Amino acid sequence: MTKSAICIELHYLGSLEFFTRLINSKNVILEVSDYFLKQTYRNRFFILGPNQIQMLTIPVHHKKKTIFRDVTIDYHQNWIKNQRKTVQTAYGKAPFYDYFFDLFDQVWISRPTYLLDLSISMMTVCLKILQIDMSFNFTIIYQQEVQKDVLDLRNKISAKKPSELRNLYQPISYKQNFGSNFASNLSIMDLLMCEGPNALKILQQSTNE
């Protein structure tokens, strides 16, 4: 049974699976008070490049028990230039690149200090393109269990496991910029660059209730 509220960690340029959960929830509680976990969607996203699926990662400063909201971005590495170039190569000829790239680029070049702020800004851009007006609540402290009327999706959407194992997302194919075989559950950026105004419809169809 679908619940009207979810609690989920914040993803950086989240996957389609992540966004199907957002758009089908009346109330979204973002978990920002847990420990930062490496090798998760918290600081990485996947796009389809000329030759293969590519993972783009934000380098961050953190220790073993750093709270997510306190994680800062490492700008000593030239990751902004690399991500901009990779996205330009992947989507420069996509139908909606000229409409949307600058929106993402403005977030990158603003160089926020915290990963939380960068991810929120990117999510806000994506929701604006989708024409979805949505507000969020943030956790103040970490609680092992959420309220009984809230669906706990924290750490359920894993970058290490295929989405088919979770039954949250039903892939709906669309025309991608490269390749003849559809690559499912990439970053929302892929869908927006390729489908533009039709992206919301595809997300709605991709929801596995």
Task: Determine the longest span between alpha carbons in the chain, in angstroms.
Answer: 47
What are the phi and psi torsion angles at 195 (to 5°)? -120, -20
- pLDDT, residue 71, reads 98
| 132: in domain | yes
Helix axes 188-195, 97-110, angle to 10 degrees: 140
Distance between CA atoms of 83 and 44, rounded to whole angstroms? 11
| 116: in domain | yes
| 59: in domain | yes
Distance between CA atoms of 107 and 176, rounded to whole angstroms? 24
Show pLDDT as tens, one digit a residue, over the chain (209 residues).
Answer: 455 899 999 999 999 999 999 998 989 999 999 999 999 999 999 999 998 999 999 999 998 899 999 999 999 999 999 999 999 999 999 999 999 999 999 999 999 999 999 999 999 999 999 999 998 999 999 999 998 899 999 999 998 888 888 889 999 999 999 988 999 999 999 999 999 999 999 999 998 76
| 196: in domain | yes
| 84: in domain | yes
Whole-prediction pTM: 0.94
What are the phi and psi torsion angles at 207 (to 5°)? -75, 125
| 113: in domain | yes
Total domains, the chain: 1
Distance between CA atoms of 104 and 112, rounded to whole angstroms? 13
Question: What range defines the domain where residue 15 resides?
Answer: 9-140+166-205
| 190: in domain | yes
